[in-house]
Amino acid sequence: MICAIASTAPSNNYVLVKNSFVGSILEEVGLQRPAAQDVVLPDRGIFNISEERLDVLDGDVLFLLYTHDFRELETYERLKHKPIWKQLKAVQNNQFFWSIFGHGHGTIHLLLTP
């Protein structure tokens, strides 16, 4: 299973790679990542993508982190109408999940509702 993970904000979409906190958890449990996320980057393991590059999120499963900080739901409402979003395998197969990321506790809670 290939697992993609990202975070959104009104002006940015972030991809979390192997050396991000979340990436290290996925590696520990043995989940594969899309090629663009299966890398190590300097400085926190996060990179920004434009809406036109949402294809780097293409995996069997997609987790979108939700922190309650950046109006992520507004961004999601905009993204879900984009043709490239609708082409993602995880979205087409109903394998897109919101994941609440608690910065203060360093934990991830999965919401199993698409």
Range of the domain at 103: 8-68+92-110
3-state secondary structure of 10: coil
Residue 75 lies in a domain: no
Mean of pLDDT values over 87-97 = 93
Neighbours of 20 (CB within 10 A): 21
**Domain count of the fold of the chain:** 1
Rounded to a whole number of angstroms, the CA Rg of the chain reads 13
Highest average pLDDT, of 25-29, 64-68, 83-87, comes from 83-87
- Burial annotation 28-43 (CB, 10 A radius, 16+ → b, else e): eeebebbebbeeebee
**Is 82 contained in some domain?**
no
The pTM assigned to this predicted structure is 0.78
Residue 99 in domain: yes
pLDDT at residue 101, rounded to an integer: 66
| Residue 73 is assigned to a structural domain of this protein | no
- Kindly state whether residue 1 falls inside one of the protein's structural domains: no
Residue 29 lies in a domain: yes
Looking at the predicted structure, is the pLDDT value of residue 83 above 90?
Answer: yes
Per-residue pLDDT at 109? 47
